[in-house]
Every structure is written in C-alpha cells, then in structure tokens.
C-alpha cells in the first residue's frame, strides 16, 4: 500500500493535462455521462480516457455502479492530491501575474458587507495609513464565493461566518473573532411592527443578501446544516428576493414588506435609513465570525493585516 501511495504522489505532476481535469469532473459528479455532458465530449471518449488514466497508475480509480461511479481508495487519494495541485497551480498563476505587474506586496482579501461596516473598514484604514506602499484588492461576497476564491489563490484571506459542514479538502484555517446573532430587519412601517404576529412572518417575502450560490455548494461536505437553515426560514414556501448587493437590499426593503435576516450588530447602521429589527420573542440564530486563510505560512504583509483584523475584531466582540 505504501508503495502505491508513493507512486501516486510521484506521478501526479505529470497529470496536469485534459485527463487530469476530466478525472476531477467525474470524481465530483460521480457519473461519467453527466461529466461528459459537462465537459462537452462524448461518453465513450471520456470512458476511454478514464481507463487510460487507471492504466497509467496500474490501479482502479472507480467502482462502476448502475447509476454512476464511486471512487476507490486510490481514486480518493488522487482526487485529494490533484485538487491540492490545482489550487497551488492557480495560486502560482496569480502570483506570477502580480510579479509581472510589479505588485509583489499586495493584499488580496475578501469580506462580507456587514463585517466591512463593523470592523474591517477601520482595520484596513489603519493598516493602509501605516503601510501606504502596499497595494490592496478587496472582494465582497458570500462566504462560499470567498472560500472558492481563497482556495484558488485569488485572495489571501477573508472575513466571514464560519462555514458549517465545509469540506475537509479545502485545507484552510479559521480564526474565530466574535459571536454574531441574527435579527430580522424590516422597514419601520412594516405591518409586523404593528400587529406583532410572529406566526405571520412566513407570509411576507424573504430577502436574502448575497445568498449561497449553487456554483459553490461543492465546497460543502455536509449539506444538512444549510438545509435546516432553509427549512427554518421556510424558503420553499414563500416569495424570496435574492440580492447580491447590500445597498440594493436596503432599497428593496424600504419599498416592500420583505423581511431580511442579517447580523444584529448592523442595527445602528440600518437605523440611519429607517430599517429596524423585529422585536421577536425567540432569540435569533447565533454564528461565529472570523478569518479564513489557507493552512500555510502567510507572507509578512498578509500576516500583518491578519493581525490588524484580529485586534479590531476582538475589540468589537
């Protein structure tokens, strides 16, 4: 077994070709027919390519079943190593681009809109004042989108909610900063502020700011927590507005009877535009907010901004 593992690791660098990429798609979808359709090639061609790949290793990578394929222990090992190589390859390309542009000292970070207002903005302003020669790239978005950017080397770190059920293949470190409680925000003239009938909440549209995208659900190993959250909010039973902008969400909230789940810590910010939390008897969902970065040594300037974020985040806790 040890010899086989060594052969896997030794041979993986030679697999950075179409067969390698095709293997990852088959492994992800667990179905050669679906994978072939996704890749835009015929099923016989893909089947033949996978057989050649298995022959190159001398071990079976898949267990063929009536409704698809399942990875063998060799296939699982290849998938883990191949994904790691793909991530490192993507990271290398981005770092090469930075070198070409003479921007080697550049911070590429992500954050959710709420955390930007609560403490990230101040942390970045303080860091920039002390390090005026450092370039900065800032990405806003949902935590799954930012996680995808992180593991592909497009950002160095990001601030967001801890992702429950995250795949172990992401190989990241999470540094908790503060506890967050969810509130239900509405316009100050919302009917529920008059009649206080909490049981009627599901009758009103649900407004989701930067919701999870199906394109990134492959990052979730255990989908149950996400599904339980959808069930709790009765997503399948009501009108839902999905908006990838906090500014647009506020505009929509002001002109409709929608209800927006969002961190309670944004109450003062929303009060400036007449958006208020519903006075609910049941306490809102709690979550942990922190910093995600790859499980590897950070370069000095990225480690410095991480420390600044930790200081500001703990101050807000």
Q: Report yes or no: 111 and 143 within 8 Å, Cβ to Cβ.
A: no
Q: Are 70 and 63 in contact (CB under 8 A)?
A: yes
First-last CA distance in the chain:
49
**Do residues 215 and 264 share a domain?**
yes
pLDDT value at 12 more than 50: no
What is the DSSP secondary structure assignment for residue 201, as one 8-state letter? G
Any domain includes 15: yes
Residue 97 inside a domain? The answer is no
Whether residues 61 and 207 share a domain: the answer is: no
Asked if the model's pLDDT at residue 35 lies above 70, the reply is yes
Per the domain annotation, does 95 fall within a domain? Answer: no
What is the average pLDDT value for the chain, to the nearest integer? 87
Ranges assigned E (strand) in the chain: 62-65, 68-71, 106-111, 135-140, 157-161, 172-187, 206-209, 240-243, 260-263, 275-277, 286-294
Residue 252: CB atoms within 10 Å? 18
CA dist 9 → 3, 28, 34, 274 (Å): 10, 20, 28, 58
Domain final position from 82, 117, 145: 82
Distance CA 266, CA 280 (A): 16
CATH value at residue 219: 3.40.190.290
Question: Which residue has tokens 């061609």?
Answer: 45
| 197 Cβ neighbours under 8 A, 6+ residues apart | none
Looking at the structure, tell me whether residues 285 and 192 fall in a common domain.
yes
Domain enclosing residue 204, as ranges: 106-316
* Top-confidence residue, 23 or 227: 23
Which among 177, 52, 190 has a CA at the least distance from the CA of 118?
Answer: 177
Q: How far apart are CA 246 and CA 113, in angstroms?
A: 7
Tokens coding 146: 């930012």
Q: From its phi and psi, is residue 182 left (phi > 0), alpha (psi between -120 and 50) or beta?
A: beta
Q: Residue 26 sits in a domain of what CATH number?
A: 1.10.10.10
Q: pLDDT at residue 303 above 50?
A: yes
Does residue 45 sit in the same domain as residue 173? no
pLDDT tens digit string along 205-223? 999 999 988 889 889 888 8
Q: Domain tally for the chain?
A: 2
Confidence band (pLDDT; 50, 70, 90) for 126?
very high
Residue 172 bridge partners (DSSP) = 294
In eight-state DSSP terms, residue 110 is E
pTM tops 0.85: no
Dist CA 266 CA 273 (whole Å): 12
Residue 122 has pLDDT above 50, yes or no: yes
Evaluate whether residue 239 is within a structural domain. yes
| Domain-ending residue, one of 23, 49, 82 | 82
Measured at the CA of 109, the angle between CA 105 and CA 111, to 5 degrees, comes to 160
The sign of the dihedral angle between the CA atoms of 166, 168, 173, 177 is positive
With a CB cutoff of 8 Å and minimum separation 6, the contacts of 225 are: 164, 165
148: in domain: yes
Please write the tens of the pLDDT for every residue from 265-296. Answer: 999 999 999 999 999 888 778 999 999 999 98
Answer yes or no: do 185 and 304 share one domain: yes
Q: Which residues contact 168 (CB under 8 A, 6 or more apart)?
A: 221
pLDDT score of 13: 43
Q: Are residues 307 and 186 in the same domain?
A: yes
The answer for residues whose C-beta is within 8 angstroms of residue 57's C-beta and 6 or more apart is 7, 8, 11, 74, 78
Q: Mind listing the pLDDT tens digit for each residue in 160-207?
A: 999 998 998 899 999 999 999 999 999 999 999 988 888 888 899 999
Residues of the chain with pLDDT > 90, as a percent, come to 58
């Amino acid at each position: 077994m040890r010899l086989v593992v060594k052969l896997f690791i030794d041979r993986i660098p030679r697999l950075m070709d179409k067969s390698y990429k095709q293997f990852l798609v088959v492994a992800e979808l667990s179905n050669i027919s679906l994978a072939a359709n996704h890749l835009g090639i015929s099923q016989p061609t893909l089947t033949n390519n996978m057989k050649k790949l298995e022959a190159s290793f001398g071990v079976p990578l898949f267990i063929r079943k009536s409704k698809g394929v399942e990875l063998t222990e060799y296939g699982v090992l290849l998938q883990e190593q191949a994904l790691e190589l793909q991530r490192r390859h993507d990271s290398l390309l981005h770092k090469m681009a930075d070198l070409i542009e003479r921007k080697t000292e550049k911070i590429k970070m992500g954050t959710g809109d709420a955390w930007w207002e609560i403490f990230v903005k101040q942390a970045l302003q303080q860091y920039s004042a002390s390090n005026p020669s450092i370039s900065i790239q800032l990405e806003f978005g949902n935590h799954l989108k930012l996680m995808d950017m992180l593991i592909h080397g497009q950002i160095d770190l990001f601030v967001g909610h801890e992702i429950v059920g995250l795949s172990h293949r992401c190989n990241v470190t999470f540094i908790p900063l503060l506890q967050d409680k969810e509130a239900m925000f509405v316009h100050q003239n919302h009917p529920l502020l008059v009649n206080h009938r909490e049981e009627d909440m599901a009758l009103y549209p649900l407004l989701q700011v930067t919701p999870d995208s199906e394109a990134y659900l492959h990052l979730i190993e255990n989908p149950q927590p996400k599904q339980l959250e959808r069930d709790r909010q009765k997503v399948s039973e009501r009108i839902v507005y999905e908006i990838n902008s906090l500014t647009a969400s506020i505009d929509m909230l002001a002109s409709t009877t929608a209800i927006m789940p969002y961190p309670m810590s944004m109450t003062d910010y929303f009060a400036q535009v007449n958006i208020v939390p519903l006075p609910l008897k049941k306490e809102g969902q709690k979550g942990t907010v922190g910093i995600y970065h790859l499980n590897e040594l950070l370069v000095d300037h990225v480690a410095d901004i991480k420390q600044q974020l930790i200081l500001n985040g703990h101050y807000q806790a």
